[in-house]
Amino acid sequence: MHIPKNCSAWKACLKKGDSEDKQILHNIISDMCVPLDVEQRFFSELSAYDNQASSKTAINNAVSVIRSDPKFFTCSGNTVALRSFQRILRIEPGSRVFGHISEAKKKILFVRFGLPIDTAFDDLPSELTDFIIQEISKDPLTFGNSFRIVWVTDLEEAQPILNSILEVIDRLGLLGFADEQRAAIFFYERSELVASFHVPRVLDGINWSRFRPVSDCSAASGKTLPLTKPEEFGLPEAVHRACEVKVSRIEMRTLI
């Protein structure tokens, strides 16, 4: 992406930031596959913000632009062929599983098991955890991050290392698991997704320094830099719009 002069203050802020901020700037400049109309509107709206306070403010402003119209700014990468990513998985911290069940149902379950309503997920008895997973699996779920998109990887690619969930988390460059005791793995079929898959572009992960946009605009998938391994060990990834998805199964894996 070509950063115009009216966003020079924004660029200067990121240059003065830490290594993560500089990497984010590098990712933005390196991605030459963002459609021109998306690029021009992004910087036009970004220039309206006060981008001189700090690098963090500059990044937050960029995120705010994308959040204002995620349907326009995200999923602009080329469509992934249907033969790719046939069996999909996504991983999230175990504590977030609560977010997929209503507060009303949660209260009913906690009363049934005689637990305080503020009991942490990691402190639940295994039989209640299993019951909650079963309840979540009954109905389609709406997945999506703050940009209303979902990052996924292919089950076939991850299968050889799936026995080590920490290895998969590392290969996908996933953050936010350091203080978690468990991870939730969601498995679902490509045929269950109504939205098309796209190769991730920089605006899909603009605040995620470990994401490296591929330079080949016709690439079949994206790839994130692993947490500890060389870049070539990253697993192939794609993005799709947040939509209701029928999950094949959900597994909880212990991280410690």
Mean predicted lDDT score pLDDT of the chain: 89
Q: Which of 187, 14, 183, 234 is nearest to 87 (CA)?
A: 187
Which is more confidently placed, 177 or 142? Answer: 177
Asked if residue 50 has pLDDT above 80, the reply is no
Average pLDDT estimate for 98-104: 83
Report the helix count and the strand count for the chain, using DSSP H and E. 9, 9
Q: Please provide the distance, in angstroms rounded to a whole number, between the alpha carbons at the two ends of the chain.
A: 41
pTM score, whole prediction: 0.86
Asked if residue 131 has pLDDT above 90, the reply is no
Asked if residue 58 has pLDDT above 90, the reply is yes
In DSSP notation, 11-78 reads HHHHHTS-HHHHHHHHHHHH---S-HHHHHHHHHHHTTS---S-HHHHHHHHHHHHHHSHHHHSS-SP
Model confidence at 144, pLDDT cuts 50, 70, 90, reads confident
- Would you mind telling me the total number of residues written for the chain in this entry? 256
Percent of the chain with pLDDT over 90: 50
pLDDT digits over 177-234, tens only?
Answer: 988 888 999 998 878 877 789 999 999 999 998 898 998 999 989 999 999 988 889 9
Beta bridge partners of 245: 141
d(CA 47, CA 6): 6
H-state helical runs in 126-182: 126-138, 155-158, 165-171
Structural contact between residues 89 and 165, judged by C-beta atoms closer than 8 angstroms: no
d(CA 50, CA 243): 34
d(CA 60, CA 145): 15
Average pLDDT estimate for 46-67: 90
How many other C-beta atoms can be found within 10 angstroms of the C-beta atom of residue 3?
A: 16
Q: Which residues contact 144 (CB under 8 A, 6 or more apart)?
A: 150, 241, 242
